[in-house]
Amino acid sequence: MGSSFSVLIPQFSSTVTKQNHSSLGDLPESCVASVLVYMDPPQICKLSMLNRAFRGASSADFVWESKLPMNYSSIIQRVFAGRNFPANLCKRDIYAMLCRPNSFDGGSKKVWLDKRTGRVCMSISSSGLAITGIDDRRYWSRIETDESRFKSVAYLQQIWWFEVDGEVDFPFPVGSYSIFFRLQVGRASRRFGRRVCNSEHVHGWDKKPVRFQLSTSDGQQATTQCYLNEPGIWKYHHVGDFVATGSVEPMKVKYSLTQIDCTHTKGGLCVDSVLICPVEFTERLKQSF
């Protein structure tokens, strides 16, 4: 019995030795691709550098189609309307193109996919907002700055009636979204290579809070308010949240920022942009304060 068992050991060891010659490169691309579907895009890109099998599997259309929004073709039509979108792109290249900030509506808006999740994010510049008195240089001026995604902001010197409105029609994929105004009290500049904040025109924001509002074409509404303080810091002020159900028709979203108490003037505020992003990204914004 013992001698019979000992005879089996060399045979078993030989089998194991032969199996050790197998590697990940021997896996069929279809099997590798079926695993990559469950990973996020950055992980897929890293694994594509392992070997030829992973590189080939990482290019499979069904892998990247699972990362794209369900209505990505509607997004392409909305963003690239009137422009030629490259034909015959594989799904991986479509994903890469949509992850770049793509301008639309005359360059006043930018939209992109978050590289890790494939969720839609959007930014609307101050030039894409309806600002009361924006054309009167006594009240407002445009300031060029590298601190804005759009390279310029609207700066309020002084005004009685403060009102900023905007709206966007867009085929938002199914999900919950938050809207923020990116604002800064005071005007930042560089002096001897250091960032400094000029608070010369800052006044009136401590008397009454500003009001933020949003509404959607399907009846959703939200209202918040807060005092503007902390000069020299860009802050994302939360307007509210809305839910996109993924209907065929684009959703119209309206948003506003007001302080229309005419008993006092207010001034010294930079208006950069409006950000629309998935609600789960709120923590990221808090870390950027």
Residue 15 has pLDDT above 70, yes or no: no
* 86 within a domain of the structure (yes/no): no
**Does residue 216 contact residue 243 with C-beta atoms inside 8 Å?**
no
Q: Is residue 181 part of a domain?
A: yes
What's the token pair of residue 17?
């030795």
Nearest to 273 by CA among 105, 104, 124: 124
The domain in which residue 138 lies consists of: 120-287
pLDDT value, residue 26: 60
Q: What is the pLDDT of residue 9?
A: 37
Asked if 152 and 47 sit in the same domain, the reply is no
Q: Do 283 and 144 share a domain, yes or no?
A: yes
Same domain, 221 and 147: yes
Domain membership of residue 204 (yes or no) is yes
Which helix (DSSP H) or strand (DSSP E) does residue 33 occupy?
helix 29-36
SS3 64: helix
Q: Do residues 182 and 274 both lie within one domain? A: yes
| Mean pLDDT for the chain overall | 88
- On whether residue 156 sits in a domain, the answer given is yes
pLDDT of 13 over the 60 cut: no
Judge whether 109 lies within some domain.
Answer: no
pLDDT bin (cut points 50, 70, 90) of residue 52 is confident
Residue 7 is predicted with a pLDDT of 38
Nearest-Å Rg of the Cα atoms of the chain is: 27
User: What is d(CA 113, CA 109) in angstroms, rounded to the nearest whole number?
Assistant: 14
Is 93 among the domain residues? no
Higher-pLDDT residue of 109, 191? 109
Which CATH number belongs to the domain containing residue 161 in this structure? 2.60.120.260
Q: CA-to-CA distance for 185 and 254, rounded, in angstroms?
A: 24
Structural domains of the chain, count? 2
Tokens at 90, concatenated: 């594989």
Instruction: Identify the residue with better confidence: 247 or 181.
Output: 181
